[in-house]
Amino acid sequence: MRLLLNSRILGDVLVIQCKGRIVAGAEVEALQAEVDKQTHVLGTELLQTRLVVLDLGEVEYLDSSGLGALVRMLGVLRAVGGGLTLCRPSPIVQKSLEVTKLTNLLSTYGSEEEAIEALYRDSPPEQDTIRRTAILCVDTSKDLLAYLRVLLTEAGYRVHTASNVSDGKRLLTVMHPKLVVCGKGIQELPAAVALLEQIQNSSGIQLLSLPAEFSTTDAGEAGKDLVERIQSLVK
């Protein structure tokens, strides 16, 4: 089975779910290309994340070239202050790691949550990043999340995004943002009630719900107004 990849950015972490075989040739090249594409800001050399989790729960086979690619990936990410963890390795992947003694180098975890927490714990952000106020943006629209990431990063904030309720709740626990911005798409989900309650019950976290008319297609003035409102909330 050819390698299928499903990627998403969760806070500072790139999570890639792998399904199929990671072997020499097109599969290894596809995995490396996906990491390069997702970790860099589109069309530039700027990094949008240095932290990567590979979910190997549905990997059917991992050959020596695949193992070599994981080791090289770890080296590249560590060189820029980042890290790589593996989660839910399938039995055949776990056996390959143990036989080659790479379990001492490549950290593996039983769940995505554990792998993400390990990256945050072992790869602290740069001092400049620490000083910036953290904002979490949650919505089902990837276009809106991309717009908010650019808008608020340019305004000087440390921005994290989540496209579903589960990821939003996870990031609340891990990153402790000063403000949570919820788009209309996420507000309309029944499951969002638990997320909103968690925010409201968290000390020191402000909640800003975007109105239904907020749009990225004509967001010049709206974006300026949003930044000003956020500045007043996180003083």
42-80 pLDDT, tens digit each: 555 556 678 999 999 999 999 999 999 999 999 888 877
**pLDDT of 127 higher than 50:** no
Measured on CA atoms in the order 106, 107, 113, 118, is the torsion positive or negative? negative
Chain mean pLDDT for the chain: 85
Assess whether 112 and 164 both reside in one domain: no
- Domain boundary residue among 122, 137, 170? 122
Quote the pTM value. 0.68
45 in Cβ contact with 5 (< 8 Å)? no
SS3 content of the chain, % helix, strand, coil (to 5): 45, 25, 30
Give the residue-averaged pLDDT of 173-196.
87
C-alpha 202: how far from its chain's center? 22
- Cite the DSSP H helix spans in 20-101: 26-39, 64-79, 91-99
Cα separation, 205 vs 201, in Å, equals: 9
10-34 pLDDT, tens digit each: 878 899 999 999 999 999 999 999 9
> Which residues does 37 contact at the CB level (< 8 Å), separation at least 6?
none
* Rg (the chain; Cα; Å): 19
Per-residue pLDDT at 61: 94
Q: Hey, which residues does 109 pair with through a beta bridge?
A: 87
Q: What is the CATH number of the domain that holds 155?
A: 3.40.50.2300
Cα separation, 5 vs 202, in Å, equals: 35
Whole domain around residue 76: which residue ranges?
A: 4-122
Number of domains the chain contains:
2
- Domain boundary residue among 91, 122, 153? 122
Give the residue-averaged pLDDT of 93-115.
93
- Structure-model confidence comparison of residues 55 and 40, the more confident one: 55
Assess whether 12 and 36 both reside in one domain: yes
CA atoms within a 13 Å half-sphere pointing along the CA-CB vector of 127: 0
Assess whether 101 and 75 both reside in one domain: yes
Q: What is the CATH number of the domain that holds 53?
A: 3.30.750.24
Q: Parallel, antiparallel, or unpaired for β 4-10 and 13-22?
A: antiparallel
- Domain boundary residue among 94, 122, 150? 122
At residue 131 the predicted structure's pLDDT band, cuts being 50, 70 and 90, is low
Assess whether 160 and 97 both reside in one domain: no
Cα separation, 57 vs 86, in Å, equals: 9
What does the block give as tokens for 184?
Answer: 């209309």
